Amino acid sequence: MRVGVLGAGTWGTALVIQLAANGHDVTLWSALAKEIDALAANREQVPNLPGAKLPESVKLTTDLQTVCTEMDLLVFAVSSKWVRAVAQQAKPYIAQGQKIVNVGKGIEEETLLTLTQVIAEEIPQTSVAVLSGPSHAEEVSRKIPTAVVVGSEDPETALFVQDAFMNQFFRIYTSSDVIGIELGGSLKNVIALAAGVVDGLGYGDNTKAALMTRGITEITRLGLKMGGKQETFSGLSGVGDLIVTCTSTHSRNHNAGYLIGKGYTVEEAMAEVKQVVEGVYCARAAKKLAEKYEVSMPIVEQVNEVLFEGKSAKDALVYLFHRDRTWEYTGQK
> Do 161 and 196 lie in a common domain?
no
* pLDDT-above-90 percentage for the chain: 92
The total of other beta-carbon atoms located within 10 Å of residue 326's CB is 9
Cα angle value 74/140/149 (rounded, 5°): 60
Residues 315 and 302 reside in one and the same domain: yes
Same domain, 201 and 166: no
**Residue among 34, 28, 76 nearest 56 (CA):** 28
CA distance 328 to 309: 29
Triad 175, 166, 24: Cα angle to 5°: 125
Write the secondary structure of 167-209 as one string of H (helix), E (strand) and C (coil). Answer: CCCEEEEEECCHHHHHHHHHHHHHHHHHHHHHHHCCCCHHHHH
Residues 112, 127 within the same domain: yes
Alpha-carbon distance of 20 to 2, in angstroms, equals 10
Reduced to 3 states (helix: H, G, I; strand: E, B; else coil), residue 320 is helix
Which one is catalytic: 99, 188, 229, 287? 188
Interval 301-309 mean pLDDT: 96
Confidence of residue 50 (pLDDT cuts 50, 70, 90): confident
- Establish how many alpha carbons lie within 13 A of residue 65's alpha carbon, considering only the half-sphere containing its beta carbon: 1
Residue 328 lies in a domain: no
Residue where a domain terminates, one of 176, 195, 221: 176
Residues 117 and 238 in one domain: no
| Residue 286 Rama label (left phi>0; alpha psi -120 to 50; beta) | alpha
Query: How high is the mean pLDDT of the chain?
Result: 95
- Domain final position from 176, 191, 225: 176
Mark whether 63 and 134 lie in a shared domain. Answer: yes
With respect to residue 213, please indicate whether it lies within any of the assigned structural domains: yes
Q: Which domain holds residue 150?
A: 2-176
Under 8 Å between Cβ of 241 and 184:
yes
54 pLDDT higher than 90: yes
Residue 53 a catalytic site member:
no
Q: Is the confidence at residue 332, as pLDDT, over 80? A: no
Do 34 and 167 lie in one domain? The reply is yes
Which amino acid makes up residue 207?
A: T
Question: Do 108 and 48 sit in the same domain of this protein?
Answer: yes
Number of domains composing the chain: 2
Do 162 and 184 lie in a common domain? no
- 23 to 49, 98, 147, 188, 295: CA distances (angstroms): 21, 20, 20, 33, 46
Exposure of 320 by Cβ count < 10 A (0-12 exposed, 13-18 middle, 19+ buried)? middle
In the three-class reduction of DSSP (H, G, I as helix; E, B as strand; rest coil), residue 297 is classed as coil
> 176, 193, 216 — which closes off a domain?
176
CATH number at residue 275: 1.10.1040.10
**Residue 309, domain member (yes or no):** yes
- Does residue 254 carry a pLDDT above 70? yes
> Each residue of 141-156: pLDDT tens digit?
999 999 999 999 999 9
Shared-domain flag, residues 258 and 163: no
Q: CB-side exposure of 206: number of CA atoms within 13 Å?
A: 2
Q: Say if residue 110 is in the same domain as residue 235.
A: no
Sign of CA dihedral 8, 307, 285, 327: positive
Q: Is residue 331 very low, low, confident or very high in pLDDT (cuts 50, 70, 90)?
A: low
Most confident of 149-153, 247-251, 325-329: 149-153
Task: For residues 40 and 189, state if they share a domain.
Answer: no
